[in-house]
Amino acid sequence: MTIEQVLKDVSALPPSDQLRVVQAIWDRLPEGVGFELSAAQQAELNRRWAEYQANPSSDLTEEEFRERIRIPRGQ
């Protein structure tokens, strides 16, 4: 079976099943695969971490974050 055939078959599934396939594949990947950061990405993470350490109270709780992402942009 080719990758193209697998993608075609998966695309025919309902979205919820497609997500299950994605999760199953992700769970089978060796640890650390796909996590190499560019210098710019690493610099941004370092900047954000330093910003957080300087003012940890400025961050959202998990509940605040989840509520905020439920609100459509522009509202």
Inside any domain, residue 51: yes
Instruction: Please say if the pLDDT value at position 74 is more than 80.
Output: no
Inside any domain, residue 40: yes
Inside any domain, residue 42: yes
Note the pLDDT tens digit of each residue in 8-51: 999 999 999 999 999 999 899 988 787 788 999 999 999 999 99
Q: For residue 56, what are its two tokens?
A: 């940890």
Question: How many helices (DSSP H) and strands (DSSP E) are in the chain?
Answer: 4, 0
Note the pLDDT tens digit of each residue in 50-71: 999 999 888 888 888 888 888 6
Instruction: Please say if the pLDDT value at position 75 is more than 70.
Output: no
Number of domains in the chain: 1
Inside any domain, residue 64: yes
CA distances from 67 to 3, 57, 63, 71 (A): 38, 18, 6, 7
pTM: 0.46
Inside any domain, residue 75: no
- For residue 7, the enclosing domain spans 3-27+36-70
Inside any domain, residue 17: yes
